[in-house]
Amino acid sequence: MIREVEGPAGAPWERPLHGTLDRLVVESDALAGNPLDDPSRRPLYVYRPPGVELDHPKPLPSVYVIQGYTGQLDMWFTRQPFEPNMIERLDALFAGGGCPDAIVVFVDAWTSFGGSQFLNSTSTGRYLDYLCDELVAFVDDRYPTAASRDHRGLTGKSSGGYGALAVPMLRPDVWGALASHAGDALFESCYLPEFPQRARQLREEFDGSWDTFFETVAATDPPKWEWVHLLELYGYAAAYSPDPANPGRALIPFDANGRLIDDVWAQWLEKDPVRMAPRHADALRSMKRIYVDAGRRDEYFLDLGAQAFAAELAKLGVDYTCELFDGTHARLTYRYPGAIRELVTALVA
């Protein structure tokens, strides 16, 4: 005989949280009327540690967590076999007393191309403004945060790691610390090797036409998973080299033969964190904590990107930590709590 009981099933299905995860929905003015007609209404998750209520008497640091390419907010509940999910890992960090109290904000910046790189773009919309101006102001107004860049940090993995590197350089008035896991950097290493493969894929499957590609994807349910590589490349182009004459479209940095188009590729390189660093040296020097890591066997060579970014920081006299660990680009969720603790410890001071 069985009977219904109250509460979550427990491990390994759902571990009860010690803290509180507020699942909110926000309406963004910055994303309204974006070129892709993507929703301006977005989910937002805000985590409060055990004992932290909205009227908490002490202002707390805040850390914002941004996702990799194709990430949408509910994916934080995705579970790998025998592992806690991200929310459970975060909760265990604070419940175990291993980290000072902080407000942790999970941001959705999905687009129809799969991601935004957290930049403003005439091809995707104003995702930099959405993150830095709208969401920060909203959270600071509703939660017991210390509303200062010196108490606010940004972290993410892959494309989220790119955002965690680039956004604080562009907006040091908002962010005072950053942590990047395998963030997109050193573009000739992480992106350039893909270009011939995508040129061939576009030729063989879609007659060399991006219009045919998008029409085929829209008409196919479910789309083939291998098509995500083309969508991802186009999404990067939408962030780095939007077509000024055609909102919602992008300039691709190679032609049908796979040959680089130098002026478009130059637009990409301008947004490479390794190359951005010297131009934003003062912003980087102002950070209270910079932490970067990557797996030594990262399939996209983002370990080299982390090294190259760290080398630029060293040239600029910027304090940082760079860790390379035994791993690939996959299954890095376990790395987040340690980086969040690094940020919170620096931001609470």
DSSP 29-92: STTTT-TT---SEEEEEEEE-TT--TT-SS-B-EEEEE--TT--GGGGG---TTS--HHHHHHH
Q: Residue 104: which of 153, 39, 36 has the closest Cα?
A: 153
* Structural domain count, the chain: 2
Is 233 part of any domain?
yes
Residues 79-129 have pLDDT tens digits of: 999 999 999 999 999 999 989 999 999 999 999 999 999 999 999 999 999
Is 9 part of any domain?
no
The per-residue pLDDT string of the chain (349 residues; one tens digit each, 9 = 90 and over) reads 999 998 889 999 999 999 999 999 999 999 999 999 999 999 999 999 999 999 999 999 999 999 999 999 999 999 999 999 999 999 999 999 989 999 999 999 999 999 999 999 999 999 999 999 999 999 999 999 999 999 999 999 999 999 999 999 999 999 999 999 999 999 999 999 999 999 999 999 999 999 999 999 999 999 999 999 999 999 999 999 999 999 999 999 999 999 999 999 999 999 999 999 999 999 999 999 999 999 999 999 999 999 999 999 999 999 999 999 999 999 999 999 999 999 999 999 7
Same domain, 77 and 168: yes
pLDDT at position 247 is 96
Residues 60-81 have pLDDT tens digits of: 999 999 999 999 999 999 999 9
Is 14 part of any domain?
no
Same domain, 283 and 162: yes
pLDDT at position 110 is 97
Same domain, 165 and 289: yes
Tell which of 218, 248, 269 closes a domain: 269
Same domain, 167 and 140: yes
Contact 21, 47 (CB under 8 A): yes
Same domain, 203 and 158: no
pLDDT at position 169 is 99
Same domain, 193 and 179: no
Distance of CA 9 to the CA centre of its chain: 31
Is 12 part of any domain?
no
Same domain, 73 and 208: no
Same domain, 180 and 224: no
Same domain, 29 and 158: yes
Residue ranges making up the domain that contains 228: 189-269
